[in-house]
A and B are shown apart, each in its own frame.
Chain A
Amino acid sequence: MGQDMIELKGVTKQFPGVLANDAIDLSIEEGEIHAIVGENGAGKSTLMKILYGLQQPDKGEIFFRGKAVKISNPSVAINMGIGMVHQHFMLLPSFTVAENIVLGIEPRKRSIFMDYKKAVEITQDLVRTYGLKVEPQLKVRDVSVGIQQRIEILKALHKGADILILDEPTAVLTPQETEELFVVIRKLVKELNKTVIIITHKLQEVMALSHRVSVMRQGKLIGTLETKDASEQIIAEMMVGREVLLEPLEKTTVEGKTILEVNHLKSRDNRGLLALRGVNLHVKEGEILGIAGVEGNGQSELVEALTGLREIESGEVMVFSKNLAGKSPREIRESGIAHVPEDRLITGLSKDATITENMMMGLHDQEPYAKKGIHTNKQTIRQRVETLIKKFDVRTPSQDVLVENLSGGNMQKIVIAREFAFDTPILIISQPTRGVDIGAIEFIHQQIVEKRNEGCAILLISAELDELFRLSDRIITVYEGELTGTFNNGEISKKEIGLYMTGKRKLSKEGGA
């Protein structure tokens, strides 16, 4: 490993409402594979966009080979030898592979014409040099995702990249493609003296590939470790850990009969890959079942499949012995499932609407708030919303405030108030406290436990292990769309559960949940 190639000092980036990067100090050494890990929203991608000139930092300095630099746009980064492979590929589907690779620095003949033949030759040369096989004349839309990634890497190398930034490169790859990618990365570093920065939240990849690892959480850089001195557990704790001492919450109810049962559920993700590979689980009255897993292992797809937002390929969703698989979200809601979605800004709320409008969604056409489903009754609506605002402690000057003007915690309370007030026997709650301040977290936790104590069956999905351990009666672990374990709370430590979350260990009793 060589000297510092890039050094970031105090890099800070503020977006409306979030501090995406908070005084980040980071150094990248020449010839290393440096992993940057953190949960979604920890600020990894923003940091890399700053390094590539796509975002400008509000504060802080960037040094390149010891010299202070200002990376005002991607051209500057490219000239410095920084190349980036974006999470969402920056390829033109209707252009050929060769055209994509030379885009921006096309070979020319008679100075104004594109020399396509030369572009094909360049591509073939790159294929030979780096051993990444691509077909230069194919259209990008006709090649697989794995090949598209190769094209992105070749494109960056062709532009003279010495440092390659790979943003979540394995998120779209099959395990085989991932393995091939790792071989390529190791070769680039060892034989061709490139430096690689890889952003990921998959810990086994960090352990398998990197020399050093930097952990980010909520916009801060928690620390940089030599990978050989680290373990998945240590990194996971740094990633997830929240140093808040919370009071235990009492359980004042006995568990009743099973009212939600999922059998052999299979469903595909947006790329058409199998995200749920036959999931079995059940939730009883008065029970909180927590789902633990590293993000992207099928949790989101599970919630969407259960709430009717995602097509189910096969399997059953039994609620009170009635199969809801294939039913619409509305039918599912009417059958007794309320849903707090993982992303309040996209699926949870309409941020351009008022608190009142958001809180009435789903009830807006029901008696007594709407007479005959048409005429809305302002009086009863205002009363209901007023009660909910008080009960769920939404801090707002009035109920006519637009939701976008509220803090994350207050937004989340609105979603929770609406969903909890449906008084359904089953609640599916996803990431209830993501991006919420600590006071609101405590309040939301109390509300969830209270619901359970009233006899509600709750399925809780959270990326925060602390939260799962605090609230759940039972925890199941998922890894790559399969259940790897089921535990009563208290049976297992956080360290141990990490092994199940990363697929290192599996309980043999299939479908025991």
Chain B
Amino acid sequence: MLGQVFNLSLLQNTIRTATPLILAGLGGLLTMHAGMLNIGMEGMILLGAFFGVVGSYFFASSFMGVVLAVVVGIIIGVIYGFFVIELKSDEFIIGIAINIFAGGLTIFLLRSIFGVKGAFSSPGIVSLPRISIPLLDQIPVLNTIFNNHSVFVYISWVLVVLTYIFLYKTPYGMWIRAAGEYPEALETVGVRAKRMKYISSIACGVFCGFAGAHLSLGYLTLFTENMSANRGFIALAAIIFGASNPIKTFAAALLFGFFDALGIRLQVVGIPSQFTQMIPYLMTVVILFIVAKKHMMQKKKVQKEEGAIQ
């Protein structure tokens, strides 16, 4: 039975299920660096998934699906930025508002555009292309795990590297981090902190649009109500676990993806789905608990050291 769970498809599934977490995680860590805790990623992913289907279905092109998902992502990113940066609204409330709005809007549009309830699937939805890497198909194990994934799997890996370079190796990334750490310091050297915050917020919308399009057009080609299934929040957990570092967040997203995949595999061997579906969320709680505990210990240690100096 163990062989049915712990096999190559578990790893293959991990890579698939981790991808939306990686994409949303990258977007969220950009806003995190710019000083905004974005909990609206959940809604951004959901809208991306829906409009990905809309674009793909009406233009008969998965590319147009992605374009539409990204456009909506940009719009939501601007709205989030406008409220949080310009109007200085509470970022939690705006995040929650986006999530509720996305849930309601997609249900409403599902009925009014497609005339269905709950889910929409059709042969007319064009799925995203799968990529077959030429030489990899010669190597048996790696081929199963890494090859023939949907295009966003590979894009997400490239984006991890690009985001890392952007944040730590370019002046613009420096400005984003500075805008989050001490915006006044950035303003006094003549760089607009607000602009950097907007850029991060919009980038987050785009990345979440990718994540949504991957969900609805990557492997399955359908949209179901609430199909983001809290991935925005798990991505947030990955960001916190990964200390907002793209590489570490990537690793954390893979870990959470693994538990997601594990849940799916366990279902195959007959363990009740009510239990298996719990696993990724349960592990998120456990890991966040460990992170918090570690953080507290560090704080105590620092306090102790400072006390010793005085």
Contact = CB atoms under 8 A, between A and B. Distances in A.
A112 B170 contact: yes
Contacts of B171: 106, 108, 114
A204 interface: no
B178 A74 contact: no
A74 B170 contact: no
Interface in A73-95: 73-75, 78, 84, 86, 90-95
A282 interface: no
A99 interface: yes
A92 B185 contact: yes
Interface string A10-23: 00000000000000
Nearest to B178: A92
Contacts of A104: 186, 189-191
B90 interface: no
B137 interface: no
Given A114-B174, A272-B310, A75 B181 contact: no
A75 B187 CA distance: 9
Contacts of A106: 171, 174
A90 B170 contact: no
A86 B185 CA distance: 10
Interface in B168-197: 169-172, 174, 177-178, 181-182, 184-191
B196 to A, nearest CB: 12
Contacts of A95: 174, 177-178, 181
Contacts of B188: 52, 54, 74, 84, 86, 90
Nearest to B165: A113
Contacts of A159: 189
Nearest to A89: B185
A381 interface: no
A103 interface: yes
Contacts, number: 60
Contacts of A78: 189-190
B114 to A, nearest CB: 43
Contacts of B187: 54, 74
A113 B174 contact: no
Contacts of A84: 188
A103 B175 CA distance: 8
Interface string B3-44: 000000000000000000000000000000000000000000
A75 B185 contact: no
Given A54-B188, A159-B189, A103 B181 contact: no
Contacts of A94: 177, 181
A84 B190 CA distance: 12
B190 A91 contact: no
Contact of A91 (B172, B174, B185): B185
A75 B190 contact: yes
Contacts of B185: 90-92, 103
A138 to B, nearest CB: 17
Nearest to B168: A114
Among A74, A86, A95, A104, find the residue whose CB has the most chain B CB atoms closer than 10 A. Answer: A104
A352 to B, nearest CB: 17
Given A92-B181, A114-B169, A99 B174 contact: yes
Nearest to A90: B185
Contacts of A91: 182, 185
Nearest to B173: A114
Contacts of A93: 181-182
A298 to B, nearest CB: 18
Contacts of B186: 103-104
Contacts of B190: 73-75, 78, 104
Interface in B149-179: 165, 169-172, 174, 177-178
A113 B174 CA distance: 11
A239 B188 CA distance: 30
Contact of B170 (A73, A103, A113): A113
Contacts of A92: 177-178, 181-182, 185
Interface string A154-196: 0100010000000000000000000000000000000000000
Interface in B181-226: 181-182, 184-191
Given A86-B188, A104-B191, A159-B189, A113 B178 contact: no
B245 to A, nearest CB: 13
A103 B174 contact: yes
A104 to B, nearest CB: 3
Nearest to B309: A272
Query: Which residue, of A52, A73, A74, A92, has the highest number of chain B Cβ atoms within 10 A?
Result: A92
Contacts of A90: 182, 184-185, 188-189
A272 B172 CA distance: 36
A382 B171 CA distance: 61
A273 to B, nearest CB: 11
A159 to B, nearest CB: 7
A114 B191 contact: no
Interface string B211-248: 00000000000000000000000000000000000000
A348 to B, nearest CB: 26
A160 B184 CA distance: 20
A108 B169 CA distance: 10
Contacts of B191: 103-104
Contacts of A54: 187-188
Given A75-B190, A159-B189, A114 B170 contact: yes
Interface string A96-129: 0001000111101000111000000000000000
A115 B242 CA distance: 26
Contacts of A272: 310
In order of increasing CB-CB distance, the 10 nearest A-B pairs are: A104-B189, A75-B190, A90-B185, A106-B171, A90-B188, A103-B189, A114-B171, A92-B181, A104-B191, A74-B190
11 contacts: A52-B188, A74-B187, A75-B190, A90-B184, A90-B189, A92-B178, A95-B177, A104-B189, A112-B170, A159-B189, A272-B310
Interface of B: 165, 169-172, 174, 177-178, 181-182, 184-191, 310
Given A86-B188, A95-B181, A103-B185, 19 more contacts: A52-B188, A74-B190, A78-B189, A78-B190, A90-B189, A91-B182, A92-B177, A92-B181, A93-B182, A95-B177, A103-B174, A103-B186, A103-B189, A104-B191, A106-B171, A106-B174, A108-B171, A114-B169, A114-B170
